[in-house]
Each structure stands twice: as C-alpha cells, then as structure tokens.
Amino acid sequence: MPVELSIAQARAWRAEALGRARDFEEAPGWRTKVQEGPLSVEVLHPPGDHAVVRGEVLLAGPLASLAPAILLDRDASRAWDPTLSRWRVLARCPEEASELVQIDVLTGAHPLVRNRELVFFEATLGGTGVSTIARSQDLPQVPPLDGCRRAFLALAWRRLEPLDDTVLRYRAMWQTDMRGALPRGAVARGQVDAMARELRWFGEKWPAAPAG
C-alpha cells in the first residue's frame, strides 16, 4: 500500500517533534558523560521514559559543504554512520521539506540481538544554520526490513549553527526505544558511546582551530 505525506501531517508531526525536543532541552537533570575539549556528551533520564542523549562539537568549514555531508545526504552519511546500510524514502512533502523514511540500524551488539529498523518522519528546518528534526510514525502497513525488528525513534534533532565565518557548532539529541528485552542501562550506554564516536569522527574530519 502506498504511503502518503500531506502538508497537514508534515506540519503537525514537525510541531510534535520540536515540542518534545525543546522540552528536553530545557529539562533539569542533564549529566555530562563525555568531555573532550569542545566535544561533550550528556544524558537525561526522564522519569518513566527512555534516556535522552545530547552532544555537541565545534567544526571548521562552510555550512554549504557540511550540511549535506552531515544532515542532508543519506548516502554521504554512510561514511560516518556504520549502522546504516539500507534506506528508502517512502513519501515526500516538498512544500514542508519533509520525508517519510525507512532505514536499518545494525546493532552489532550481540549475535542474539536482531538488527533494528526505523520508519520515521524527518523535516529540514531553516533559520540560523541548518537543522533536521525526526520522529518515528506508526505505519504498520510498511513491512519491516528483512532480518530486522522495528524500533521507535522518539526523537532525533540535529543542528549546524554558524558561530562565525569559519566555525560551526554541531548539536545532536537522540531518544530511541530499541524495543525488545534489552536492559535500558545498556541501551543508554550504547547511545552515549554512539554519540561520542559520531562527534569524534566529525571533529577529526573538520577540526576547528583551538580558541586563542
């Protein structure tokens, strides 16, 4: 069955995801887990909910080059995201710069842990810099990818913000329910490690000059 994405859906889903992201951004209780110069990773444990992970790093380069490599081109993201091997666009809403997407998530955690896959809405946002906001949608008519169990992406918010003519600040925030009988603590640690690896890769690829 074909999947459609209307303008009304895109606007409502974007507002829902942004509202969730901003609530987490302002929430108390964030704890630093990784601090390496300008690179940092923090975790929040909302009561009765899955852990939220956020991080940031400073990068050097033009926004016009880094935005596609980091945010906008999924083929390019394979260079830094080892968990991604398959993806397809299910529907588009060009008027709202939005898509419905299905991707796999190669967990690699344990031979008995099935790989996951996600079906999510993602919008590209303007303003200062470039950002994307994503959240899973319940679409049972879309069959899971072969060999995968469907997980739930509660939030993925990624931002590239110019600080001056040469330096960008990259920020990311994730909340994922991997589903299945997996210990929440282990999943949270895995998310922190994944965030740190991603930020280190970006920092090595596009290093910003040290302050001073």
DSSP 91-160: EEEGGGTEEEEEEEE---S-TTSPEEEEEEEEEEE-SSSEEEEEEE---TTSPPPTTEEE-EEEEEEEEE
d(CA 90, CA 69): 22
d(CA 171, CA 24): 14
Quote the tokens at residue 79: 């260079």
Q: Are 163 and 46 in contact (CB under 8 A)?
A: no
d(CA 80, CA 98): 23
Helix (H, G, I), strand (E, B) or coil at 31: strand
**Model's pTM, two decimal places?**
0.91
Residue that the structure tokens 């964030």 belong to: 30
Per-residue pLDDT tens, the chain, 212 aa: give them.
579 999 999 999 999 999 999 999 999 999 999 999 999 999 999 999 999 999 999 999 999 999 999 999 988 888 888 888 889 999 999 999 999 999 998 876 555 567 899 999 999 998 889 999 999 999 999 999 998 899 999 999 999 999 988 899 999 999 999 887 777 778 788 889 999 999 999 999 999 976 54
Quote the tokens at residue 113: 């842990």
Q: Are 104 and 116 in contact (CB under 8 A)?
A: yes
